[in-house]
Structure 1
């Protein structure tokens, strides 16, 4: 068997009231909560994937500001190891009400509300990324090299 890494992106977007953009989605038949997140597509840049996934899942355009970190998670449900590139972004404007088919709704939630959802979070990385954001973790976007075309 050939092992293929699963590169994913996630976005932490905070509004002016201190709430975070989250998605309520169906995953393996269960309703879970996550940051706007998804897989990097073939020939797609990591930052571009983060912007695209946020728009597709929430209808919001965002401006990436920082990389929060690169996280590794092996999902017990399927045994797949995911590499999550998590970004901090500034929400700009909501441009669409059309969301990906597995997305139930986009919500703005406080950190306390998200912590209360603990058993409904898609993975432990959801809260870990938020805590790292709240603790001030920030890396410049330039740490991710983008090939020149």
Structure 2
């Protein structure tokens, strides 16, 4: 099957401290948008380790996933190219660790911002994806699943060397 459909696999972190959530403000084709710290699953890593890596790269904070909030499938058309994209996102809750103030943020990330749930709900036009609010609402409703639901076979973790 040469034209087999494959969604992009991504991970996202829902990071809460004192009733506020850490988001990134990033430059996109549609202007500045807010998003969870998130990114693509890379070869040789588990979704949990990918989430910790992406959080560090995008926020300069350490993050330890402690629960799966949900698995989300989202489809959209990329502005400018009309490319039809589908994302399969694993959203994790976890503990926020040390902040590395001198660490540069990923390309495209303008800044990080702590916002309340109400502040996030008040600006849906600024959300990069509807999954930002959907996963936040699931988190606030207490939705948590054991990390053991996401299994990564040892064969994935070997890079072939």
Q: TM-score, normalization: structure 2? A: 0.87
Which residue does 1:121 correspond to in 2? 127
Query: 2: distance between equivalents of 1:13 and 1:111?
Result: 12
1:4 and 2:10 are equivalent in the alignment: no
The offset of 1:3, in angstroms, is: 2.5
Off by >3 Å, runs of 4+ in structure 1: none
The offset of 1:109, in angstroms, is: 0.7
Which residue does 2:65 correspond to in 1? 64
Q: How does 1:79-98 map to 2 (within 5 A)?
A: 79-96=84-101, 97-98=103-104
Structure 1 unaligned spans of 5+: none
Aligned residues: 148
Structure 2 counterpart of 1:130, from 129, 133, 136: 136
Query: 1: distance between equivalents of 2:13 and 2:135?
Result: 9
Larger radius of gyration: 2
The offset of 1:112, in angstroms, is: 1.1
The offset of 1:62, in angstroms, is: 1.0
Structure 2 unaligned spans of 5+: none
Q: How does 1:21-36 map to 2 (within 5 A)?
A: 21-36=22-37
Query: 2: distance between equivalents of 1:126 and 1:67?
Result: 15
Query: 1: distance between equivalents of 2:40 and 2:123?
Result: 23
Question: Cα RMSD between the aligned structures?
Answer: 1.3
Query: 2: distance between equivalents of 1:25 and 1:116?
Result: 18
Q: Which moved more, 1:57-66 or 1:2-11?
A: 2-11
